[in-house]
Amino acid sequence: MKRREFIKKAGAGTAAVAATAVNAPFVHAQKKTTIKWRMQTYAGPALAEHVIKPSIDAFNTAANGEMVIELYNADQLVPHGELFRAVSKGTIDAAQSDDDSMAAPVDVSVFAAYFPFASRYSLDVPVLWHWYGLKEIWEEAYAEIPEVTWLSAGAWDPCNFATRKPIRKMEDFKGLRMYMFPTGGKFMQQFGVVPMSLPYEDVQMALQTGELDGVAWSGITEDYTVGWADVTKYYLTNPISGAWAGSYFANTKKWEALPEHLKTLFRLSMDSSHYYRQHWYWWGEAHYRTKGGKLELTSIPKEEWKIVEDAALKYWDEIAAKSPRNAKVVKILKDYAKTMEAAGPPYRY
């Protein structure tokens, strides 16, 4: 090819490319859609400020626009007793609660919240789940419910009685109308307690009007934080459980649709919440007993309280008889209790 013809053809090709570029439409880079979740906690506004909101705020910041979790308080979107069903249907994308009060349809739900005397301290809960096999048992149980994924369990506060009149002996329990979690309430019925169920936000007014005689829903930290210490007078130092066991749940389709890095970030968010509660409640239970100033402390003598502890062991055996998986959990609890007793202080005194 002659040099002049080569230049002519090359010039024509360049012009064609330029014309194509000029006439090509301008295309905007497609923006990624932000993933949005709605999550409801078991806690009212004042309590949620501690037990979950800081970790969700941190998650939303770290997600950097890729995902936003809208947090709702107890009963805000659906009644608490319908929370599990709402997650399974996808009405709500995730929940923070205990299996017991949100009516999770698994046999092990009875061990959530305040299973009588299953723990002595808050550290017992993560140890039981991570080192004694409860995590694997919960994963197995929830694998039978394809619509909901169980994600993580952690510890909250102990279960003590805050009441309008003092409890100093077992006889004082008779006839007390108490706001309680389902399993703890059923257990205490044998001692004359009348467990009551009502919306979380109605509890304080029910205490003021006398519809309730007290609450056995928490330790003293929550009593002060949510205002129950303002409408009760006495705090029984004998707990029926050393720590509330609660979990995080997600709608399975929504969980599986998340990219792996957002799943990891959410797991870190849950761990952050678990850690915060460990030290906040540990601080608060001692602080409010000694410096709260609103509630008078009462105690039932140790030898009389042993009646309740012995009844709990019988109750364990009743629950173990309900399913092979429940029997496995009860065996773990018994083995753990023996180990703690054998280890001695500071594990057990």
Q: Which pLDDT tens digit goes with each residue over 28-55?
A: 555 679 999 999 999 999 999 999 999 9
pLDDT-derived band at 126, boundaries 50, 70, 90: very high
Is the per-residue pLDDT at 21 higher than 60?
A: no
The rounded mean pLDDT for the chain is 93
Region of 250 on the Ramachandran plot (φ > 0 left; ψ -120 to 50 alpha; else beta): beta
For position 115, what pLDDT does the model report?
98
What residues does 155 pair with on adjacent strands?
245
> Where in the chain are the domains?
35-159+241-343
Is the per-residue pLDDT at 19 higher than 50?
A: no
Whole-number percent of the chain with pLDDT over 90? 91
Q: What is the mean pLDDT of residues 193-197?
A: 96
Distance (Å, whole) CA 305 – CA 169: 8
Is the per-residue pLDDT at 320 higher than 50?
A: yes
Is the per-residue pLDDT at 3 higher than 90?
A: no
The tens digit of pLDDT for each residue in 111-125 reads 999 999 999 999 999
Question: Are 232 and 163 within 8 A, CB to CB?
Answer: yes
The upper half-sphere exposure of residue 240, i.e. CA atoms within 13 Å in the direction of its Cβ, equals 30
Q: Directed axis angle between helix 260-291 and helix 53-62, to 10°?
A: 150
Nearest to 233 by CA among 214, 253, 257, 258: 214
Is the per-residue pLDDT at 197 higher than 70?
A: yes
For position 32, what pLDDT does the model report?
77
For position 31, what pLDDT does the model report?
63
Q: How many residues does the chain have?
A: 349
Q: Which CATH class is domain 35-159+241-343?
A: alpha beta
pLDDT-derived band at 172, boundaries 50, 70, 90: very high
Nearest to 229 by CA among 140, 296, 170, 300: 296
Distance (Å, whole) CA 196 – CA 228: 16
CB atoms under 10 Å from CB of 142, counted, come to: 21
